[in-house]
């Protein structure tokens, strides 16, 4: 009953697994070879692609871009045709001199821009449209008497010694002088201060009187002593300019002095430190809407104009032969109000300064 059938026993024999056939073995070998080839070609592709990409970048940034023609920025002529620059009058023609170039390079400068900004100037620097505001300024500067009305916009004030200040109500500019009739007993310093100290004191005085605009605070200053040196000088002229415009200095019709200047004495009393005082300041709009761009004439053209008599001689030399040491662009401000501040060429030599307008003639009103 419990015995196994012979046929059943035979079916339970162990089945042996046959080894991989030679055909299957060849298929795996070929797959390995193909994989190696794929990896090889992939590596080659990556290397070639990287070489092409790096070569392209080198060409684009080192050959293509540097050799592109420069993008020309055109002037915007924002204010339309400009009036010719208000160059100062000259008693002698600039063509009366023979010029030699003795600059650092021995040539005309080469870093002249094609365009420069022309700035808008606002006429009112201080709100003095009322006589009471002018009187307050006069009293603050030590002139309590007045006003004497010269005309509706020009008032004069005095002190008890006969000193006078004249104030323009339209723009806040003024000038004064001190009468020295009763100054014999006022203590005096042995010597004037150094250049740096005089400029510092002058700006401090302007600041104390509410006259130191931020442009003047950072602007350059200069001192001209009355003698050969500080020790033998009884007086000096101190002057300050507004800060540079777009990295170009500001010059005036007098070149050596600015529109804000005073004579400095040795008196120690504040009222008599500055005996003569001129204050003319025209605010300049440096905001985005406050300037336009105009083409600048080539320096070679400006030099020819100077030699041809179209420039002005600001400092007249003692000799007809002028050695030019510096040639540069600057902005000219005038004693009279002008709506626009224009650049000029400055030709500077030993005991000589000449000005030539810098904006191209075809941008000026005819």
pLDDT tens for 173-199 read 999 999 987 777 888 999 999 999 999
pLDDT, tens digit, for every residue of 261-277? 999 999 988 889 999 99
- In this structure, of 64-78, 107-121, 152-166, the range with the lowest mean pLDDT score is 64-78
pLDDT, tens digit, for every residue of 121-148? 986 544 545 788 899 999 999 999 999 9
Mean pLDDT on 199-206: 97
pLDDT, position 2:
45
Query: β-strands 284-285, 352-357: how paired?
Result: unpaired
Rounded to 5°, the CA angle 230-233-238 comes to 80
Mean pLDDT on 292-299: 97
To which H or E segment does residue 346 belong? strand 343-349
Mean pLDDT on 148-155: 93
Mean pLDDT on 1-27: 50
Confidence of residue 31 (pLDDT cuts 50, 70, 90): confident
d(C-alpha 101, C-alpha 89), whole Å:
25
Q: Is residue 165 predicted with pLDDT exceeding 50? A: yes
CB count within 10 Å of CB 102 equals: 13
- Residue that has been written with the tokens 């020295």 in this structure: 180
Closest CA to 180 of 272, 270, 274, 263: 272
- In this structure, of 29-43, 108-122, 209-223, the range with the lowest mean pLDDT score is 29-43
Confidence of residue 229 (pLDDT cuts 50, 70, 90): very high
pLDDT, position 223:
98
pLDDT, position 66:
82
User: b vs e for 146-167, b when ≥16 Cβ sit within 10 Å of the residue's Cβ?
Assistant: bbeeeeeebbbbbbeeebbbbb
pLDDT, tens digit, for every residue of 68-108? 777 778 999 999 999 999 999 998 999 999 999 999 999 99
Phi and psi at residue 356, in whole multiples of 5°? -140, 135
Which tokens belong to 318?
A: 């003692």
Mean pLDDT on 321-347: 96
d(C-alpha 232, C-alpha 310), whole Å:
41
Closest CA to 183 of 200, 162, 204, 155: 162
Confidence of residue 60 (pLDDT cuts 50, 70, 90): confident
pLDDT, position 54:
87
Confidence of residue 4 (pLDDT cuts 50, 70, 90): very low
pLDDT mean across residues, the chain: 89
Beta bridge partners of 188: 267
Domain boundaries defined on the chain: 37-68, 94-121+288-363
| Residue ranges of E strands in the chain | 98-101, 115-121, 145-151, 154-158, 164-168, 174-177, 221-225, 236-240, 250-251, 260-264, 274-279, 284-285, 291-295, 312-315, 321-332, 340-341, 343-349, 352-357
Which tokens belong to 325?
A: 């040491």
Rounded to 5°, the CA angle 311-316-321 comes to 85
Q: What's this model's pTM, rounded to 2 decimal places?
A: 0.80
Query: β-strands 98-101, 321-332: how paired?
Result: parallel
């Amino acid at each position: 009953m419990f015995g196994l059938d012979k046929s059943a026993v035979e079916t339970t024999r162990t089945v042996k697994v046959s080894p991989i056939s030679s055909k299957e073995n060849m298929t795996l070998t070929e797959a390995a070879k193909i994989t190696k080839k794929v990896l090889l070609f992939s590596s080659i592709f990556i290397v070639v692609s990287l070489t092409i990409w790096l070569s392209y970048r080198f060409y684009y940034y080192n050959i293509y871009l540097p050799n592109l023609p420069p993008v020309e920025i055109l002037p915007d002529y924002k204010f339309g045709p400009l009036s010719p620059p208000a160059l100062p009058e000259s008693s002698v023609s600039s063509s009366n001199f023979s010029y030699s170039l003795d600059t650092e390079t021995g040539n005309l400068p080469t870093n002249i821009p094609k365009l420069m900004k022309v700035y808008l100037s606002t006429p009112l620097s201080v709100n003095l449209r009322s006589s009471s505001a002018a009187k307050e300024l006069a009293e603050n500067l030590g002139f309590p008497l007045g006003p004497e009305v010269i005309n509706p916009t020009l008032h004069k004030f005095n002190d008890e010694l006969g000193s006078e200040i004249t104030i323009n109500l339209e723009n806040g500019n003024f000038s004064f002088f001190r009468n020295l009739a009763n100054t014999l007993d006022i203590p005096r310093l042995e010597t004037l201060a150094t250049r740096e100290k005089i400029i510092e004191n002058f700006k401090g005085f302007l600041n104390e009187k509410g006259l130191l605009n931020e442009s003047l605070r950072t602007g350059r200053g200069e001192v001209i002593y009355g003698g050969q040196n500080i020790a033998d000088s009884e007086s000096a002229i101190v002057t300050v300019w507004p800060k540079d415009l777009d990295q170009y200095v500001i010059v005036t019709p007098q070149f050596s002095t600015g529109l804000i200047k005073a004579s400095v004495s040795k008196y120690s009393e504040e009222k008599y430190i500055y005996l003569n005082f001129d204050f003319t300041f025209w605010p300049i709009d440096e905001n985005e809407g406050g300037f336009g761009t105009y083409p600048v004439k080539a320096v070679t053209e400006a030099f020819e104009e100077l030699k041809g008599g179209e420039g002005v001689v600001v400092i007249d030399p003692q000799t007809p032969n002028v050695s030019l040491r510096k040639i540069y662009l600057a902005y000219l401000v005038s004693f009279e109000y002008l709506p626009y501040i224009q650049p000029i060429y400055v030709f500077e030599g030993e005991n000589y300064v000449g000005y030539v307008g810098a904006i191209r003639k075809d941008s000026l009103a005819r």
